[in-house]
Amino acid sequence: MARFKRILLKLSGESLMGEKQYGIDEKRLNEYAQQIKEIHELGVQIGIVIGGGNIFRGLSGASKGFDRVKGDQMGMLATVINSLGLSSALGAAGVKARILTAIRMEPIGEFYSKWKAIEAMENGEVVIMSAGTGNPFFTTDTGSSLRGIEIEADVMLKGTRVDGIYTADPEKDPTATKFDDITYDEVLRRGLKVMDLTATCMCKENNLPIIVFDMDTLGNLKKVMTGESIGTLVHN
């Protein structure tokens, strides 16, 4: 049995690069689709938000001279490209998926509304919510917090390259230790980079727990959903 009925799955754009330096690694994309299919078969209602950092990141564009608003809009479009890729991979795996976009761009995707997303999930479709919030100056972390709260998800699952939250970056600091669970207040007090500040505060204020886990290891998503203790739980 799945421990959550409805989830918001946040996927990293960078992780989609897999072994590549840029863009989408088809192998990684298909692995993600298979993992999503596994939990879909448990009857879980699934909403997904994907980042766009494998293609373009607005903030890094701004540091290179791009206008920040245009850079963020380019980043939003990058998330749409990733969403189309994941939707295609899910379709090939036999899972119905629907793309909703925060900016009008039919026929690429339907314009997002909470009610449309919930109705599609209740009908057994995986809903991929792309283009962030549709506004500049907001990250896809904030987009996923907003969508998770809107669709009344039981939890946000943040799939990353790391197997949880550590006292420091484990890729840089070998002495970093992992938290099994941690409160939002502690995350904020320690200044841990779980998500950006806006996203963290939104989840805290709306009581949306987050589980940060390693999505790049096959089978981990199902382990989280069936209650195995992997990753780090963030809660009030």
State yes or no: 51 annotated in a binding site.
no
Annotated binding residue 11: yes
Answer yes or no: is 133 a known binding residue.
yes
Identity of the residue numbered 188: L
Instruction: For residue 149, give Cα distances in angstroms to 57, 90, 201, 222.
Output: 24, 24, 12, 22
- 134 annotated binding-site participant: yes
Is 135 marked as binding a ligand?
A: yes
Q: Confirm whether residue 166 is marked as ligand binding.
A: yes
Q: Is 213 annotated as a binding residue?
A: no
Residue found by looking up tokens 């790391």 in the block:
162
Number of C-beta neighbours around residue 92 at 10 A: 11
* Structure tokens given for 233: 């739980």
Peptide bond into 209 cis (omega under 30): no
> With contact defined as beta carbons under 8 Å apart, do 138 and 132 qualify?
yes
146 carries a ligand binding annotation? no
Does 148 count as an annotated binding residue?
A: no
Q: Is there a binding annotation on residue 111?
A: no
18 has binding-site annotation = no
* Dist CA 133 CA 142 (whole Å): 8
According to the annotation, is 13 in a ligand binding site? yes
Q: Is 57 annotated as a binding residue?
A: yes
| Residue 137 is assigned to a ligand binding site | yes
**183 annotated to a ligand binding site:** no
User: Does 52 appear as a known binding residue?
Assistant: yes
Tell me whether residue 139 is annotated as binding.
Answer: yes
Specify binding-site residues for UMP.
Answer: 52, 72, 133-140
Specify binding-site residues.
Answer: 10-13, 52-53, 57, 72, 133-140, 160, 166, 169
Specify binding-site residues for ATP.
Answer: 10-13, 53, 57, 160, 166, 169
